[in-house]
Amino acid sequence: MERALALPAPAKLNLFLHVLRRRADGYHELQTVFALIDLADWIDVERREDGQLHRSGDVVGDVQLDLVMRAARLLQQRTASRFGADIHLSKRIPAGAGLGGGSSDAATTLIVLNRLWNTGLARQQLADLALELGADVPFFVHGRNAFAEGRGEQLTPLALQPAHYAVIWPQVHVSTKEIFEDSGLTRNTKATKMSDFSAAADPVPQTLRERGETGTPVLFGANDLEAVARRRFPVIDQVLAHLARFGVARMTGSGSAVFAITANEDQARAAVADLPENWRGWVVRGLAEHPLSAW
């Protein structure tokens, strides 16, 4: 296999995000649920025999510093691969939105090059490399919805009920680093258990499913980063207010994208219809697993 085309790098939502404390190493102890959705970037990769790495397509910032190139260089160096690659990225997931686009791009790059270069790393070995690129890159490498702890790298697979979401991005770029460094960030949320989430956050309660009804979807917990992001970027408040008319609305990650879990696809479509000119909206479905899980 020398070429792989139209490979997906799906986005994620944080169904909740709790900040428990600041750690001695400067990072924060978190709890969250990562949920894969079918909004995706697309990557084309062709193996090179000369060891060179070339990047084309959509680039955010310095091409040599972007996560796709960093992922390719890291795998090449750690496995001493003689191969290189031409990598073309088509972006649909906006940067600075809290949707994990860059991390997902890096994960797909690792998964694909591991196959094209015949480096033979197991998924856990790829995830160990991925952690050097970012705390949520291992989630995309493992490719399963998960309850996450630590910095977000301690993952327990989690089955989520099928769900539709309306996602709106007000085209504001938010710096995750600045949100976490804000003095107004609350860092003392009480730790929860995965069983608490599972019991409280079933989008369609079991009693209603048994009667063939959809019910009103719910969301567990909160996003502790939301208050800081809303203060810094008031437009996030406007998006939350808009989406709250259609379902339970919440910011994902450190923002600025906001999502609502809706009762059905029609409700999600209504939520993203007739948006202000500077807002972008998508109707998405939750994914049970990463499309490249079998790889």
Confirm whether 136 is a catalytic residue: yes
Measured CA to CA in angstroms, residue 254 lies from 14, 16, 187, 232, 283 at distances of: 9, 11, 14, 11, 20
Q: Is the pLDDT of residue 84 over 90?
A: yes
- Cα 97 to Cα 176, 195, 263: the distances in Å are 9, 29, 24
Distance CA 253, CA 70 (A): 22
Question: What is the reported pLDDT for 10?
Answer: 98
What is the mean pLDDT of the segment spanning 247-267? 95
State yes or no: pLDDT of 140 exceeds 50: yes
Query: pLDDT, tens digit, for every residue of 189-206?
Result: 999 999 889 877 654 555
Mean pLDDT of the chain: 93
Token readout for 88 is: 């073309």
Q: Hey, which bits of 67-136 come out as E strands? A: 84-90
Residue 167: which of 277, 224, 232, 247 has the closest Cα? Answer: 247
Residues of the chain with CATH 3.30.70.890: 164-285
Quick one: fold of 3-157? Ribosomal Protein S5; domain 2 (3.30.230)
Residue 56 bridge partners (DSSP): 88
Average pLDDT estimate for 46-63: 89
Rounded Cα gap, residues 237 and 215, in angstroms:
26
Tens digit of pLDDT for each residue in 192-244?
A: 999 889 877 654 555 544 545 455 577 899 999 999 999 999 999 999 999 99
Q: Which of 41, 105, 136, 202 is catalytic?
A: 136
Give Cα 62 to chain centroid, integer Å. Answer: 22
Q: What CATH fold (topology level) applies to the domain 164-285? A: Alpha-Beta Plaits (3.30.70)
pLDDT reading at 285 higher than 70: yes
Kindly report, as residue ranges, where domains of CATH 3.30.230.10 are found in the chain. 3-157
163-175 mean pLDDT: 96
Are β-strands 84-90 and 53-57 bridged in parallel, bridged antiparallel, or unpaired? parallel
